[in-house]
Each structure stands twice: as C-alpha cells, then as structure tokens.
Amino acid sequence: MTAQIPDTVDAGDVAEWSDEVDVLVVGFGIAGGCAAVSAAAAGARVVVLERAAAPGGTTAMAGGHFYLGGGTAVQEATGHWDSPDEMYKYLVAVSREPEHDKIRAYCDGSVEHFNWLEGLGFQFERSYYPEKAVIQPGTEGLMYTGNEKVWPFKDQAVPAPRGHKVPVPGDTGGAGLVTELLVKRADELGVQIRCETGATALVVDGGAVVGVRWRRFDETGTIRAKTVVLAAGGFVMNSDMVAEHVPKLAEKPYVLGNTYDDGLGIRLGRSVGGATKHMDQAFITAPAYPPSILLTGIIVNKLGQRFVAEDSYHSRTSGFVMDQPDSAAFLIVDEAHLRPPETAPDGAGGDPLVPFIDGWETVEEMEAALGIPAGALVATLDRYNENAAAGEDPDFHKQPEFLAPQDTGPWGAFDLSLGKAMYAGFTLGGLATSVDGQVLRADGSEVPGLYAAGACASTIAQDSKGYASGSQLGGGSFFGRRAGRHAAERARSL
C-alpha cells in the first residue's frame, strides 16, 4: 500500500474522452450514493465509478445508526423532546474544532434529512431502546449513542437520544438496506453506476478539475466532467497512511472498513492542492459495556488514577485511554457488580472485547498485581466509594444510575489497555471542505469543480472522544446530498 499522491492529467493531453457528464462521483457508499441521486434529481447527468464489484462500500457493513435529531418523528413518537438548537449546542461542545456552519446546517436540516431517508422506501421503527449498549439488539428505532447524558455535556445542552437505527436486527449490515434503496433510486433517475472501475487520476484544466482518468481491468479511459465528487472512503486499510497519521490504529487487532478504504479519495484531493484536517484522529474503541452494571466500577490508569467518567460513550472512554501512560487502563469492579462483558463477533474470534485479568481478596493485592504504585489504587477507590455512598461523584460527575460503592470483596480487574483489549477502529481525518462539500485549499479557497463527502472528507465527526454512533452515516448522507446538489448547480452554470 502507498501514501503516494497520484499525478494529475492535463486536459490538453487527453486525446479522447470516453464520456462527458455533468457530475462524476467516485465511490458508491452512503455519501457517494446520496451525492449521485441528489445531483441526478437536480437534473444532472451522473456517472458513478465504484471499484468494488457491487455498490455499498463500508456502509454496507455498518449496523445502521444515523445520528439525527431536532425533533424527528421517532423522537416525537417516543416522547423525547429535542430541538435543532440543543442538538447544535451539543455537537459544538463535543467537537475538538467545531465548524459552526456545518454543525448549524446539519442540525437545522436534520428533520428534513430524516424524512428524505425514509422517503427512499423504509421507516425507522417508532420505538426506543433504554439500555446503555453499543447498538440496539433488535429493531428499536432510537437510543442514546453519544455522550449527551455524560458530564460536562449534560450541563451544556438538554440531552436527547439521536441514534436512529434502520429496522434490521443485529449489529452489522443494517445500513446495507439504505444503500440498496439508493441504488434503486439512482437507477430510476438514470444514474450510471460502473462497478469494478476505479479512478486513477484527476484531470485538470488550469486550476479546475474537469474530469477523471479511470481503469477497469486492462481497459483505461478518461471522462470529462463539469464537477467531480470524491466519496471513496477513509484510509484505515492503507498501512502506510495509518503508520504516518494514526500509528495507534496499527496496534489494534482488527479494523472497521472495506478493502477500498485505502485513502484514494484523500490522495486524489491532495493531488490538486486540497488541504486535509484531523488526519491524526480516529474512532478507536474496545467497549467495556454491555452489561452497563460494569460502569458502576472505576476505570484507572497504571498510576491508579481515574481519568474519565466511566459512563461515557465507549469511544470517548477509549480515546482517553489512548492518552494515558503506555495507553494502559483497568476497569475495577467489586464482586457485587461484576458480570461477564460483551464478546467480539464470531468473525473477530468471539473472545471478550475487554479481557478479565484476575480477582483478588484485597485491593492491596490487586494494586500490587497490576503494578500500580502502593497506596494509589486504595486511595482512589476509597475516595470513590465514600462519594458514591453519598450519591456523589465530584471528580467526574457520573450519572446516579452508574454510581455504586465498590466495597464488596473480592475485586476483579478487566484490561482496557491497547494491545490487550480488542480495539477496533477507523480513520476520521479527510479533505477540508466547505458546508457544500467543495474541497478547500490550505488558504480556504476552493478547488474549482471538486467536491468531497463521506469518510474521505472532514465534517462532523472529528475524534474518538466526541464521536457518537451514527455520525458517519448521518454526516456522510447529509453532506453527500449537499455536495451532489451543489455540484449539479455548478455544472448547470458552466
């Protein structure tokens, strides 16, 4: 695998164009599919190049969470009040570098986007899953999938559940329903989808992007396009790019992505001067729940110190683990609250995501066995237990339902350390874009004719600590639509 930036092709050197279109989309996952149908619905002639044998991309592997809010039909039906303003305040609070125009557009347009998604031909179930879990086990349409109820965010915006799941049971593949419906809509609108056909270079005329060089097996060609939308996924499968930008991802046992998440879209964008953002950030996680009772325990680093609210969304906790000395951490639970944790899917070995280390009759014995400085864990646990008994957590303000003294021996420890727990992840960095998906240079100017959406663009999800399940599908689909519409408008003006 390579991190090499492809060369561009000068339009004056193209002897023959295989096609001439208004909008050319590179990749048919959730973002590319939404871009294609939105551009076609606006009257554009659209071709999609998809390297795989069938459309879907990584979206087809996802469980099917869309992060939506502001008062959707599911929120209203299940009695959960929300508003665009509260959603906006929350997303700004969890963003490391909030792009206010994108967040504002996403929140203000969320209900309309929800309705548009259902208009593809399915319906989110009007039901709510109340437990703290990674994903609903059944077809429940709504649950909390972020840190809305976690301090400090619970004090910065009124909490509301926004994780809308497509009505498919299980934790993988549910989003494939949406891509299937997007393919159907694309066909109805006359979009041409060319599978097993990959983009190899962008064609430029002066400073503008005017086409794409493609390859299909031994056949090559060049398409003239008034606008190009890059929607080719992230770079988690590119070992060179991962080693360069997010080396901790190279230390986890497995990745979340498909073969073609090799950073091609990002590299194509960079070939014409596109800037990138948050390339050193990734979603990385080894969930310590379910069962949620484990979160009544404490999570400490190798110095015996707490460093995160244990009731955080799992990737927030994991993001803070990455910051600890040697990325090492332990979940400490007493006998009264200890339960076996969730196991990995069979395809990933079926082992516990967070391995159990051992149990000890005294905290002092546990402290010594874990290599924690003498007295440190004892002091931390004593302080936690005293406050929890009073229903308080002045250090991290954990929710009352997860506050319980851990004072009934023996005590057990689970290993949350990188390299020990079964961490999985994907990249979050991508091309810098405008609110309409235009690829931007480092000085903020746009690259004429070029757009990006989905995992090869930087939009709402910026790091593991602020992530919420559904951010990728929600943001990819929403900003994919905006990119497709704007690309069609630009093509019409040329």
Identify the pLDDT of residue 312.
Answer: 97
Identify the pLDDT of residue 159.
Answer: 98
Q: What is the 3-state secondary structure (H, E, C) of 340-351?
A: CCCECCHHHCCC
Give the mean pLDDT of 417-436.
94
Peptide bond connecting 152 to the previous residue in cis, omega within 30 degrees of 0:
yes
Identify the pLDDT of residue 482.
Answer: 98
Least-confidence region, from 196-205, 283-292, 364-373: 283-292
d(CA 61, CA 39): 25
Provide the percentage of residues in the chain whose pLDDT is more than 90.
87
Supply the mean pLDDT for the chain. Answer: 94
Least-confidence region, from 63-67, 100-104, 210-214, 331-335: 63-67
Peptide bond connecting 291 to the previous residue in cis, omega within 30 degrees of 0:
yes
Does 323 score more than 60 pLDDT? yes
Give the mean pLDDT of 289-315.
96
Give the mean pLDDT of 71-90.
98
Q: pLDDT, tens digit, for every residue of 428-459?
A: 999 999 999 999 999 999 999 999 999 999 98
Identify the pLDDT of residue 62.
Answer: 82
Q: How does residue 44 score in pLDDT terms, banded at 50, 70 and 90?
A: very high
Distances (CA, A) of 45 to 54, 183, 230: 21, 16, 16
CB 268 within 8 A of CB 230: yes
Identify the pLDDT of residue 35.
Answer: 98
DSSP 131: S
Q: How does residue 343 score in pLDDT terms, banded at 50, 70 and 90?
A: low
CB 234 within 8 A of CB 263: yes
> What pTM was estimated for this model as a whole?
0.96
Provide the percentage of residues in the chain whose pLDDT is more than 70.
97
CB 369 within 8 A of CB 342: no
Residue with tokens 């993988």: 172
Identify the pLDDT of residue 349.
Answer: 53
Q: How does residue 33 score in pLDDT terms, banded at 50, 70 and 90?
A: very high
For residue 156, give both structure tokens.
């910065």
DSSP 13: G
What are the residue boundaries of the structural domains of the chain, listed by start? Answer: 9-62+175-283+424-493, 65-165, 287-415
Q: Within 10 A of 358 (CB to CB), how many other CB atoms are there? A: 13
Identify the pLDDT of residue 311.
Answer: 97
Identify the pLDDT of residue 132.
Answer: 92
Handedness of CA 50, 475, 138, 414 (dihedral sign): positive
Does 248 score more than 90 pLDDT? no
Q: Please give the CATH topology (third level) of the domain spanning 9-62+175-283+424-493.
A: FAD/NAD(P)-binding domain (3.50.50)
Q: Please give the CATH topology (third level) of the domain spanning 287-415.
A: Flavocytochrome C3; Chain A, domain 1 (3.90.700)
d(CA 433, CA 27): 17
Does 111 score more than 60 pLDDT? yes
- Per-residue exposure over 150-170, b if at least 16 CB sit within 10 Å of its own CB, e if not: bbebbeebebbbbbbbbbbee
Does 348 score more than 90 pLDDT? no
Identify the pLDDT of residue 347.
Answer: 47
With a CB cutoff of 8 Å and minimum separation 6, the contacts of 456 are 27, 230, 231, 232, 233, 234, 263, 264, 265, 266, 269, 430, 431
Q: How does residue 344 score in pLDDT terms, banded at 50, 70 and 90?
A: low
